[in-house]
Structure 1
Amino acid sequence: MSGPQRGGPEKGGPQGRGPMGGGFGGMGGMGMPVQKAKNFKGTLRRLMGYLRPQRVKLMAVLVTAILSTAFSIYSPKVLGEATTKLFKGMMGKFNGDPNASFDLPGIWQIIVFLAALYLVSSIFSYIQQFLMAGVAQKTVYGLRNEVKEKLGRLPLKYFDGRPNGEILSRAVNDVDNISNTLQQSLTQLITSLITIIGVIIMMLTISPWLTLILLLTLPLSMIVIKGAAGRSQKHFKAQQMELGMLNGHVEEMFSGHQIVKAYGQEKNAVEKFDQVNERLYESGWRAQFVSGNIMPLMNMVSNIGYMFISVVGGIMVTKGSISIGNIQAFIQYARQFSMPLVQTANIANIIQSTIASAERVFELLDEPEETPEAADGADAKLVSPKGDVSLRGVSFGYKEDAPLIENMDIDVRSGQMVAIVGPTGAGKTTLVNLLMRFYEVNAGSITVDGVEITRMKRGHLRGLFGMVLQDTWLFNGTIRDNIGYGRIGASEEAIVEAAKAAHADHFIRTLPEGYDTVLNEEASNLSQGQKQLLTIARAILANPSILILDEATSSVDTRTEAHIQKAMHDLMQNRTSFVIAHRLSTIRDADLILVMNHGSIIEKGTHEELLAKGGFYADLYNSQFVGGGLRQSAG
C-alpha cells in the first residue's frame, strides 16, 4: 500500500451540492437531497465559535455588504429620474411647447452619479469578498490543523474500526464543504437578505399599493418552488445513489482489472456498467428536468406580477400620481426581488448540509484520544537499550466483555529470537500492538529493560522497534525516500548498504531511474516481493533494538527468501526479535517459540522441545508436511 484510498463525496462525503454544482446564485440546489444535522443549533453555535476570533473582520464584511447592496439598490431609483427627465422633455416637444427642451446637463449629471454609484458598489463588493476570503480560509485553516492534530492523537482502534474513505471524507470533504460555504454561501446569504429588505423599502417609498400587488404573488411563488422541489427530491436522491454505485463499480473494476480479465468477466462488467449507467441517466434526466422547470415557472409567476404592476402603474401615471421613471424603477426592483428569495431558499439547503458536515467533523474531534502520557516519569528514556522485554499478568480485549488475552506472562532476554505461532485470531498481532502501545493493556504491565512502557513517551518507545509486516506500506515517492523513511537524515551510502543487506540493490539498479525511481500511488510498478524487500531494507536502515517480523518473507521466491533469511539472521544478532510465523520451517532456530490459541500461551519452548511434546505445535508443524511436500499453514 502506498497511499490512502480516496473517498469522494459520492461515497458518503456530504457535499450538499450535487451534480448541478450547488446553485451558487442559481437553482442548482433546489430539490437536492440534504443531509440534516442531528443537533443543528448546538453544531451551529460550535461552528460560530470558530468564527469568533475573526469577528472584527466579519463586522467589516457585514458593513461592506450593506454598503455595496445599498448603493446597488439605490441605482434604479436614480436611473428612473433620468427616464422621467427624458419623458418630460419628449412630452413637451410632443405637445408643441416652444420652451420645451431636454435637460441634458441634468441627465448627464444623473448618469455620472449613477456611474459613481455602480463603481462604489463594486469597490465595497470587492472589499467584502477579499475580507471574507481571509475569514473563511483562516477559520478552515485552524479547523483543518485541529483535525490533523486530533488524528495524530487518536488510538489505533479508531482507525481499525472505520473505513479509510469514511475518515478521509470527514477530514477532507466535510472540511472543504465548510470552507466553500463560508467563502461563498455566507456572503451570498448576507447580500440576499439585505437585498430583500432594501428592495422592499425602496418599493414602499415609490408606491405602497404596487408593493402590495407584488407581495401578493409571493405565496404563489412559494407553492411553485415547494411543489417542484418536492418532486425533484426523490429523483436527485436516486441520482446520488446510482452515481455512488457507478463510481464504486468503476473503481472496483479498474483496481481489479487483472482478475476481471483472468476470469473473462469483461462482458459482465460492461453489462453491469450499462445497467447502472442507464438508471443514472433516467434518474439524472428526471431530476434535471423537474428542477430545470423551477425557474421558468418562477418567471411565469413573476410575469403575472409584472403584468398587474404595469397595468396599475400605467393608470397611476395617467392620473399623475406617479412618474414614469418611478414605474421603471419599480419594475427593476420587482425583478431584483424574486432572485434573492430563490437564492435564500437554496442557501438554506446548503447551510443545512454544511452544518451536517460540521457535525461529522466535530464527532471526529470529540472521539476519545489515546491514554495521555503519565504526568510522573513519562519521559523515561533508554540511553543504551538492550532489548529485555517482560510481560507480567497482561490482560487485554478489544471489547470489555470479550477478553482476548488473559494473565499472560513472558520473559524475553536481550538478543533472543522469539517466534509467535498459532491459528488465525489467536492474538499474535494483538501482542505486537500491545508491545508498541498501539493499544493499552487492560491489566498487568509490560517493561523494556525493566522500565514500564507507560513511563516512556510513545515516540521514544516506538523508536526502539523496527517492523516488517506482511502487508507492505510504501508511499508515493522515490525508492531512496522510501528506504530512508527508516531513519531521518540517512546518508546515500547508508541507504545503499541497507538495500544491499536486504538483497534489494540489484533489482533497484536494473530500474530505469535506479534509486530515483518514483513509485506510483499503489507501487504497482514493483512486484509484491520487491516491495517487501524495500520494507526490509527500511528496517535494516533503522537499526532498531527490537525487531518485529510478521511473516516478512512470505511474498518472495525461495531463492530470495534464503538470502533474506541470512540477512535477517545477521540483522537479528544481538537484537531481540519477535517473529510472527506462518511457515513453521522458518523458525526452527528460534530461541523460544510461543504457541498461542484464543489469546493464551498454551505451549512454549524450542522447536525440538515442542515437537517432542507431541502437542498443538507438533500437530500444526506436521500438518505442513503432507506427502513429503511443504504446504502453507492456514494460520
Structure 2
Amino acid sequence: MAVNSSRIDEDQKEVLKKDTMLRMFKYLLDYKKEIVIVLFVMAGTITISLLAPLIMEYAINVCVAQKDMKGLLRLGAGAVVLYLLFLMGTKIRMRLMAEVSNKVLLNIREELYRHIQTLGFGFFDSRPTGKILARIIGDVNSLKDVLSDSVTQLIPDLLTVIFVAVIMLVKNYRLAMAALLTLPILAVGMFFIETTVHRRWQVYRKKTSNLNAYVHEDLSGIRIIQSFAAEPETKKMFHDLVNQHYRSFIDAVLVADAFGPLVEITWGLGGFLLYFIGIRIVGVEQIGIGTFLAFSTYIAMFWSPIRNLANFYNKLTTNISAAERIFDIIDTESEIMDQAGAEDLQEIKGEVVFENVSFAYSDEPDRLILNNVSFSVKPGETIALVGPTGAGKTTIVNLISRFYEATKGSIKIDGHEVKDATLKSLRSQMGIMTQDNFLFSGTIRDNIRYGRLDASEEEVVEAAKAVSAHDFIMKLEQGYDTVISERGAGLSIGQRQLLAFARTMVSRPGILILDEATSSIDTHTELLVQKGIDALLKGRTSFIIAHRLSTIRKADRIFVIDQGNIMESGSHEELLNLQGAYYKLYRSQFSQMEKD
C-alpha cells in the first residue's frame, strides 16, 4: 500500500479552477435570505456612492456659478444624510456577511469531518494524521475572507465599475475611452500572474501540510525521541521543513505581490491619458470645470474598485488551492460503505464463515495478503490465530468487522453476508481490542462508557470489576471521576489495557476480537485479568491473536496462518501431536515460557 509521509508532498488530482470556485460559492445559496438583504443594502450604498460626483458637479456648475448659497446648503445637508445612510448600510452588510461566511465555514468543516469518518482504514493508513488536520483546520479557515468578500466586495465593486463606466461614456465618451484604454494591459498582466502564482500556492499548501504532519508526529512520539536522545535529528528535520515552507511562501508571494503594482501602473496611465486627452485634445474650454472634476472623481471611483477586484482575485488565487484540497478529500470515495438495500444485522449469535476469501490492497492488486481462505466457526467458539508477522492474522479479523472489503469470496455472520449489513449494526456488536488501545481525554468513567454510551453507573463498575480494573481505579484520587489525558498519560501500560478491557466488557459484544490485547500486561496483571478475559470469552464467538501460551492453550481451535492461508487447524494438543508448523512455532516461542 502506497504511504505518504511528512517528507513527501501529497498527490492531488487536477481540477478546473472555475469548477472549484462555483462549488465553493454554492454553499452561500443556503443563506439566500441573508444574501438578498445584503444585496439590497449594497444596491443602496452603491447608488449613494454613484450620486456623490453628480452632487459635486451640480454644486459647482449650478449652485456656485449662480451663487445660490441656500441651494448649496440644502445640497450639503442632503449629502450628509446620504453619507450617514451609506455608513449604516456598509456596517449592516459587513456584519451580515461575516455571520454568513462563518456559518458556511462551519458547514464545510462539518461536511469534511463527517465524510472523513466514513473513510476506510486504507485512507488513514496511507497518510499522516497531521495532513488530515491541516485540511480540516487550516485549509477551511483560509476560505473565510474569500466567501465574505465574494458578496461584500466582488459584487459591489463589479457593479460600481460597470455603472461608473456607463456614466462616463454617457457624459463624454472620449474622456471615458481615454480612462479605459489601459484595461487590456491590466487583463493580460493579471492572466500571466494568475497562471504562475496558482501553482506556487498549491506547493505552499503542500509544504504547510508536510510541516503540520511532522509536528503532530513529533509531539506524539516525544517519549521515543527523548528516550533515544534524538532531539538534534528531529530539530534538523523540523528546520528543513520550515525552510521549505518559508521558501514556498516567498516564491508565491513574490508573484502574488505583482498584482498591486500592476493595478497602480495601469491606474496611473489611465489618469495620465484622461488629463492629456481632456486638456490637449478635447480642450478644457469644451468641458465644464464641474464636469472635469466629476470625471476625475469617477476615474478614482472606477480604478479603486478595479484595485479591490485585483486584490480579491489575488486572494481567490491564493486560497483556491485550499478549496481544491478540501474538495479532494470530500470527493474521495469511501471503500467501505453501506450498500444499497443494506439491512440491520439482528442480535449476533456468532457463527462466522469464510468461503474462498482473498484480499489485496487496492493499489497492489497482485500482492495477495490472504489467498483463498475458508473456515467455519460455531457460535461461542474461541479461535486463536498464530503465525509469523505479516501472515494475514490481523487482516482476517479486520475483514470480519468489515474495516476492509474482501477482494474475492464470501464472509458471513449467522448466514448473512457482512457487506449486506449496515456498518453500524455490524460494528456495534463487535468487541475489538488491540495492543495499543486508545484512551480519550476525559474521565475514566467516560472512557469505559465509550463502549456503550447508555451504560448505567452499575454496569460501568461491574465491567471494571470483571476485568480487575476496579481496585486500581478506586485507589486514584477521584476514582471513576479521575480525568486522564489523551492516550491515558499518567497510567501504566497495564492500567490502560485494563480500562480498554472494561470498555469492551461494557459493550456486551456478540463477537470478540483480541489482537495482541494482553501483550502489554505483565504476568502478575495477566493473572488478575485472566478471570475477566474468561468472562469476556464466555458465551460469545472470539478471535484471539496472541503469543501468550495461557490464552492460546484455552482456545477451542488454533489456526496457524502463513503465506496468506491457514496451514494447520486444531486444538493445542492436536497440533502439537502433528509436529508441524505449530509445533515448531511452539517450540521456538513458548518452550522457555513454559519452563518459567
TM norm. shorter chain > 0.5: yes
Contact 1:470–1:550, Cα closer than 8 Å, also in 2: yes
> 1:391-540, aligned counterparts within 5 Å?
391-399=354-362, 401-453=366-418, 456-540=421-505
* Residue equivalent to 1:72: 49
Q: Distance in 1 between matches of 2:107 and 2:325?
A: 16
Q: Distance in 1 between matches of 2:247 and 2:335?
A: 46
Q: After superposition, what is the alpha-carbon deviation per residue over 1:328-376, rounded to whole angstroms, capped at 9, x for unaligned?
A: 3322222232232233334345546538725852763462564645749
Give the gaps of 5 or more residues in structure 1.
1-6, 15-34, 90-101
- Assess, with a 3 A threshold, how the Cα gap between structure 1 residues 328 and 584 changes in structure 2: closer, same or farther: farther
Does 2:175 correspond to 1:210?
Answer: yes
The residue identity in structure 2 corresponding to 1:38 is: V
Q: Secondary structure at the match of 1:623?
A: helix
Does 2:149 correspond to 1:184?
Answer: yes
Q: 1:390 aligns with which of 341, 353, 358?
A: 353
Q: 1:547 aligns with which of 508, 512, 532?
A: 512
Q: Distance in 2 between matches of 1:511 and 1:444?
A: 50
- Assess, with a 3 A threshold, how the Cα gap between structure 1 residues 486 and 238 changes in structure 2: closer, same or farther: closer
Q: Secondary structure at the match of 2:512?
A: strand
* Residue equivalent to 2:534: 569
Q: After superposition, what is the alpha-carbon deviation per residue over 1:268-311, rounded to whole angstroms, capped at 9, x for unaligned?
A: 54455556656766776676677657646644554454455456
- Assess, with a 3 A threshold, how the Cα gap between structure 1 residues 619 and 64 changes in structure 2: closer, same or farther: same
- Assess, with a 3 A threshold, how the Cα gap between structure 1 residues 315 and 523 changes in structure 2: closer, same or farther: farther
Report the CA distance between 1:41 and its aligned residue: 5.1
Q: Distance in 2 between matches of 1:619 and 1:308?
A: 93
Q: Secondary structure at the match of 1:578?
A: strand
Contact 1:38–1:356, Cα closer than 8 Å, also in 2: no
Let me know the Cα RMSD of the aligned residues. 4.3
Q: Secondary structure at the match of 1:391?
A: strand
Report the CA distance between 1:610 and its aligned residue: 1.6
Report the CA distance between 1:594 and its aligned residue: 0.7
Q: Distance in 2 between matches of 1:224 and 1:443?
A: 56
Report the CA distance between 1:538 and its aligned residue: 0.2
Q: 1:331 aligns with which of 273, 285, 296?
A: 296
> 1:86-235, aligned counterparts within 5 Å?
88=65, 102-125=67-90, 128-129=93-94, 147=112, 150-151=115-116, 153-165=118-130, 167=132, 180-218=145-183, 221=186
Q: Distance in 2 between matches of 1:115 and 1:630?
A: 96
Q: Secondary structure at the match of 1:460?
A: helix
Contact 1:12–1:169, Cα closer than 8 Å, also in 2: no
Q: After superposition, what is the alpha-carbon deviation per residue over 1:406-441, rounded to whole angstroms, capped at 9, x for unaligned?
A: 443323333332111111222211211222233344
Does 2:555 correspond to 1:580?
Answer: no
Q: Secondary structure at the match of 2:527?
A: helix
Report the CA distance between 1:189 and its aligned residue: 1.7
Q: Distance in 2 between matches of 1:412 and 1:597?
A: 19
The residue identity in structure 2 corresponding to 1:112 is: A
- Assess, with a 3 A threshold, how the Cα gap between structure 1 residues 282 and 178 changes in structure 2: closer, same or farther: closer
- Assess, with a 3 A threshold, how the Cα gap between structure 1 residues 358 and 59 changes in structure 2: closer, same or farther: farther
Contact 2:198–2:321, Cα closer than 8 Å, also in 1: no
Report the CA distance between 1:472 and its aligned residue: 1.2
Structure 1 window deviating more from structure 2 (221-230 vs 104-113): it is 221-230
Q: Secondary structure at the match of 1:420?
A: strand
Q: Distance in 2 between matches of 1:197 and 1:486?
A: 62
Q: Distance in 1 between matches of 2:54 and 2:444?
A: 69
The residue identity in structure 2 corresponding to 1:331 is: S
- Assess, with a 3 A threshold, how the Cα gap between structure 1 residues 281 and 429 changes in structure 2: closer, same or farther: closer
Q: After superposition, what is the alpha-carbon deviation per residue over 1:211-262, rounded to whole angstroms, capped at 9, x for unaligned?
A: 2332234455567767887898898778667655655554454443333333
- Assess, with a 3 A threshold, how the Cα gap between structure 1 residues 39 and 285 changes in structure 2: closer, same or farther: closer
> 1:336-355, aligned counterparts within 5 Å?
336-351=301-316, 353-354=319-320
* Residue equivalent to 1:18: none
- Assess, with a 3 A threshold, how the Cα gap between structure 1 residues 263 and 375 changes in structure 2: closer, same or farther: closer
Q: After superposition, what is the alpha-carbon deviation per residue over 1:517-549, rounded to whole angstroms, capped at 9, x for unaligned?
A: 333344434343332222111011112232111
> 1:260-409, aligned counterparts within 5 Å?
260-270=225-235, 273=238, 295=260, 298-299=263-264, 302-303=267-268, 305-307=270-272, 309-310=274-275, 319-351=284-316, 353-354=319-320, 357=323, 361=327, 364-365=330-331, 367=333, 370=336, 372-373=338-339, 375=341, 378-379=343-344, 381-382=346-347, 385-399=348-362, 401-409=366-374
The residue identity in structure 1 corresponding to 2:323 is: S
* Residue equivalent to 1:39: 16
Contact 2:140–2:322, Cα closer than 8 Å, also in 1: no
Q: 1:611 aligns with which of 568, 573, 576?
A: 576
The residue identity in structure 2 corresponding to 1:343 is: N
The residue identity in structure 2 corresponding to 1:72 is: S
Q: Distance in 2 between matches of 1:138 and 1:246?
A: 28
- Assess, with a 3 A threshold, how the Cα gap between structure 1 residues 179 and 295 changes in structure 2: closer, same or farther: closer
- Assess, with a 3 A threshold, how the Cα gap between structure 1 residues 492 and 139 changes in structure 2: closer, same or farther: same
The residue identity in structure 1 corresponding to 2:54 is: K
The residue identity in structure 2 corresponding to 1:391 is: F
Give the gaps of 5 or more residues in structure 2.
none
Does 2:58 correspond to 1:81?
Answer: yes
Q: Percent identity?
A: 37
Contact 1:532–1:552, Cα closer than 8 Å, also in 2: yes
The residue identity in structure 1 corresponding to 2:517 is: A
Contact 1:76–1:332, Cα closer than 8 Å, also in 2: yes
- Assess, with a 3 A threshold, how the Cα gap between structure 1 residues 551 and 237 changes in structure 2: closer, same or farther: closer
